[in-house]
Each structure stands twice: as structure tokens, then as C-alpha cells.
């Protein structure tokens, strides 16, 4: 215990409430959030130091001591605590506001500086030039979104620029073509949805990106959006409407599920493997899409689907949300390892997921753990193989 007592400044707690941390004072300090947090399942300094309840409590008191990278920026915004809190608190919102306050004071973690810089200059977090946004479409028949197009396919920046992730975009596009859907992309003019950078605390960058996208979408006459990433889905569904962007938004798994049911997509070739599905936080807990991806897997001929011990609303984060995709997480503290272990325990041949972040994080763990006999695939890739 330190010698110098901390002096509460309730005005600071009040400021968090006023800027979006509405549930800060609702906490009854039970600690279920801390106990449920995936950081408890790994080892290391962050696991030791990051305590959700304590951060909320200190923020409420308006005292200092939680602002470091390893504490305030540890949260992956996976939402297990939100799901389980008996008082309907939202530690994610509170954490986001606290990060924003730190950001305003200029102490943004080093790892986020290039990300925010790239978002501001290129409209994506991956240092890619705007003109390369459509590079993933190389040698593919990809229509541009026009007046008569029904769906806008909004490809996550990660799948636009990351070489592994590009395959997901290509698989989704291929499937849309096979099903004869009326779809198109906007391409260079669109920018990152802004979901993750907002969680990092850069409210201003988010606003710029969102307002830009809403304007472009409006100009092009976009009504319906298909996203490849659950994070874009979240942002368009839950954050854009407040800024005037009202769209009908679907994750691609939801559309594929519908197309298969209608017989417009016909998986015919065998996929004779044991498949285990990892629920991405932003598809499951944040958007409550649990059935569609499972239905798609079940449609693969001869595929055997099994569940991890922790699935659905109890699924564990891949470790890539809340801006952690851009942070270095030390070995032994990577949540992706937990997912790989869970899948290996069930002797799965394929760990399937439906989020670009999850694919990257879990694939990295899979390789680091030397479990390459198990593949990490996006559901779109699997479906495209057999359709």
C-alpha cells in the first residue's frame, strides 16, 4: 500500500458520465467483470495489473493510476463483462471514454500513433495507399456499386491490405457472384469504418471517418450493406445511425445463410472435415449473430461441426479487438492460444471463424504453437471451396 492517500475528485467521474460512460456509477463493485475477463485466463503483467472493476472504481473516484498501456489499453472490448454484469454496466463504453480523455491529453500509446496517422491520411489503419484499397480484386470480376445495385459489399481494411485476409474478401466476392446477387463495391473512395479507432479513444478520427463514409454512401444511394467484418457491422449498425447513417446492414454469414436456404448457393463438393467454430466477439456478443455462421458450416457436405467448451455468449476473445490488433501482446498472454487449445482439445481439423481480426490473431497463435495440422479458415473460404 502506498503511503500517500489518493484524493477522490468526483467531478472527474462526472465528466466520464457526461461524455458517454453513462454506467460508471451503476457499478456495485461486485467484481464479476474482473473475474469474467479473458485476461484472467493468461499469464503475465497485464493479467496481473489489469482489473476491470478497479479501473471503473478509480475512474469513478477520479483518481489516477490506471492510465498506462498495460492497464487502460489492455481491454479488448470483448464484451463478456457487459454480457454478465448484474447491474447492466458497460465497462467498454467507460473504458473508451477514459481512453479518449487520455488521448485528449496527448498521451496516446506509441503503437497507435502510426495507426491514427494512416487513418487520417489514407483512410485505413494499415499504412496502405487509398488507391490500393481494391488491390484484392485483382483478376476478379468485381462490379462497382451503381444506381441499380442492391448491396454494397464493404470490405474491411484488413481484408483490403493484409495478404492473408485478402483471401476472405475474394471468397466473399466469389460467392456473391455465384449466387447472382446484385452487389458492388465503392473502393478507393470509402474509408475505414472507424470502429476500432474509436475504441482506442480517438473519437475525432472516428467522427471524420464515419462522416466521410456516410456522405459517400449517401451520394451513391447505398441502402443495404454487406460487411466482411463483424466490426464494420457493429459500427454501421450501432454507431452510424446516431450520425445520420441509416442502412440495412448484414454480416456476410447472414446473407450466405439466407442464400443457401433459398437455394441460390449450392455447396456440392465434400468438405469432409471436423470443423469447430470460434464465435467472434463482435459477431456474437456484440451483434448477437450465433446461428447464421453455424448454419453455413452445417450446409457444407460431410462437414462435422463441433463446439468448443466455451462458445456462443461465453466465447473467448481472439485478443484483437479494442485496438489490440495493433499492440504487441507478449507470448503466454495471447488469447489466440486459448482458442487454438480449445479447438485442438476437440480434435478439430479446421478452426473456422468469420472475422478478419480473429483469423489473423488465431492463425498467428496456431503457427506459433506449431499446430499447423489444424487449419484456421474464414467460413467464406470454406464455403467458396465447395460451391
Partner 1 sequence: MAEKVGCFVCTGCKIGDAVDIEQVLSVANESGAVVAKSHEALCSKEGLDLIKSEIESNELGGVIIAACSQRDHVDTFRLPNVFVHRANMREQMAWTQPPQEEDTQMLAEDIIRMGFGKLQFTDIPQPEDVEVHNRILVVGGGVTGMSAALNAADAGKEVVIVEKEGELGGFANKLHKIFPKDLDLAAYPEPDVDALKEKVSGNDKITVEFNTTVASIAGAPAKFQVELKNGSGQKTINADSVVVAAGWKPYDATKLSHLGYGKPNVVTNVEFEQMAKDGKIARPSDGKEPESVLFVQCAGSRDDDHLPYCSNICCGATLKQITYLKDLNPEIAAYVVYKDIRAPGHYEEVYRQVQKQNAVMIKGEIEAVEEGDDGKLNVQATDVLMNEPVFVETDMVVLATGMVPTTLEEDVLNLAYRQGPELPEREYGFPNSHFVCFPYETQRTAIYAAGAVRMPMDLATCIDDAAGAAAKAVQSINLIEQGLAIHPRVGDASLPDFNLSRCTQCKRCTEECPFGALNEDEKGTPQPNPTRCRRCGVCMGACPERIVEFPDYNIQMISQQIKNMFVPDEFEEKPRVVCMVCENDAMAAIDMAAKNGLKLNPFVRIIPLRCLGSFNIIWVADALSNGIDGVLLLGCKSGDDYQCHFIKGSELCETRMGNVQDTLDRLMLESERLRLEHVAITDYKKIPEIFDSFLERLEELGPNPYKD
Contacts to partner 1 by CB under 8 A: 1-2, 4-8, 10, 13-14, 17, 25-29, 53-54, 57-58, 60-61, 63, 65, 87
Q: Is the Cβ of residue 33 or residue 296 nearer to partner 1 in the bound state? A: 33
Q: Is the Cβ of residue 57 or residue 178 nearer to partner 1 in the bound state? A: 57
Q: Is the Cβ of residue 28 or residue 367 nearer to partner 1 in the bound state? A: 28
Largest Cα–Cα separation, the chain: 70
Nearest distance in Å: CB 1, partner 1: 6
The CB-based long-range contact list for 327-333 (8 Å cut-off, 24+ gap) reads: 327/69, 327/73, 327/109, 327/111, 328/111, 329/46, 330/44, 330/45, 331/368, 332/42, 332/43, 332/44, 333/39, 333/42, 333/43, 333/44, 333/46, 333/47
Q: Tell which residue, 293, 291, 275, has the closest CA to residue 346.
A: 275
Q: Is the Cβ of residue 55 or residue 354 nearer to partner 1 in the bound state? A: 55
Nearest distance in Å: CB 238, partner 1: 23
Nearest distance in Å: CB 6, partner 1: 5
380, three cell numbers: 467464406
Nearest distance in Å: CB 34, partner 1: 10
Q: Is the Cβ of residue 29 or residue 121 nearer to partner 1 in the bound state? A: 29
Contact indicator for 89, 23 with CB cutoff of 8 Å: yes
**CA angle (188 as vertex; 166, 181 as ends), nearest 5:** 65
Q: Is the Cβ of residue 5 or residue 370 nearer to partner 1 in the bound state? A: 5
Rounded alpha-carbon distances, angstroms, from residue 60 to 24, 63, 87, 283: 6, 8, 15, 30
Nearest distance in Å: CB 56, partner 1: 9
Nearest distance in Å: CB 107, partner 1: 21
Amino acid at each position: 500500500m502506498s503511503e500517500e492517500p489518493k484524493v477522490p475528485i468526483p467531478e472527474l467521474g462526472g465528466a466520464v458520465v457526461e461524455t458517454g460512460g453513462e454506467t460508471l456509477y451503476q457499478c456495485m463493485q461486485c467484481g464479476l467483470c474482473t473475474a469474467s475477463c479473458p485476461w484472467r485466463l493468461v499469464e503475465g503483467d497485464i493479467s496481473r495489473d489489469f482489473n476491470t472493476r478497479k479501473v471503473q472504481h478509480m475512474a469513478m473516484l477520479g483518481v489516477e493510476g490506471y492510465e498506462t498501456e498495460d492497464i487502460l489499453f489492455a481491454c479488448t472490448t470483448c464484451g463478456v463483462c457487459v454480457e454478465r454484469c448484474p447491474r447492466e454496466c458497460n465497462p467498454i463504453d467507460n473504458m473508451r471514454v477514459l481512453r479518449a480523455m487520455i488521448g485528449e491529453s496527448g498521451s496516446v500509446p506509441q503503437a497507435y500513433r502510426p495507426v491514427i496517422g494512416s487513418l487520417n491520411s489514407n483512410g485505413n489503419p494499415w499504412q496502405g495507399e487509398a488507391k490500393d484499397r481494391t488491390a484484392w480484386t485483382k483478376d476478379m470480376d468485381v462490379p462497382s456499386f451503381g444506381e441499380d445495385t442492391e448491396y454494397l459489399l464493404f470490405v474491411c481494411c484488413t481484408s483490403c491490405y493484409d495478404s492473408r485476409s485478402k483471401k476472405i474478401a475474394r471468397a466473399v466476392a466469389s460467392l456473391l457472384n455465384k449466387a447472382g446477387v446484385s452487389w458492388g463495391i465503392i473502393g478507393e473512395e470509402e474509408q475505414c469504418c472507424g470502429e476500432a479507432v474509436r475504441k482506442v479513444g480517438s473519437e475525432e478520427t472516428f467522427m471524420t471517418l464515419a462522416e466521410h463514409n456516410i456522405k459517400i454512401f449517401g451520394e451513391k444511394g447505398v441502402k443495404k450493406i454487406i460487411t466482411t467484418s463483424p466490426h464494420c457491422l457493429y459500427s454501421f449498425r450501432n454507431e452510424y445511425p446516431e450520425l445520420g447513417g441509416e442502412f440495412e446492414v448484414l454480416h456476410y454469414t447472414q446473407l450466405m445463410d439466407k442464400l443457401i436456404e433459398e437455394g441460390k448457393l449450392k455447396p456440392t463438393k465434400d468438405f469432409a472435415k471436423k470443423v469447430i467454430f470460434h464465435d467472434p466477439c463482435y459477431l456474437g456478443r456484440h451483434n448477437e449473430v450465433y446461428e447464421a455462421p453455424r448454419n453455413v458450416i452445417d450446409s457444407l457436405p460431410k462437414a462435422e461441426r463441433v463446439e468448443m467448451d466455451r462458445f456462443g455468449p461465453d466465447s473467448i476473445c481472439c485478443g484483437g479487438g479494442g485496438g489490440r490488433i495493433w499492440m504487441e501482446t507478449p507470448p503466454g498472454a495471447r488469447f489466440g492460444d486459448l482458442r487454438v487449445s480449445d479447438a485442438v482439445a476437440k480434435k478439430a481439423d479446421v478452426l473456422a471463424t468469420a472475422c478478419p481480426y480473429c483469423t489473423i490473431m488465431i492463425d498467428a497463435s496456431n503457427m506459433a504453437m506449431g499446430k499447423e495440422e489444424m487449419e484456421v479458415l474464414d467460413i467464406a473460404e470454406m464455403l467458396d471451396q465447395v460451391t
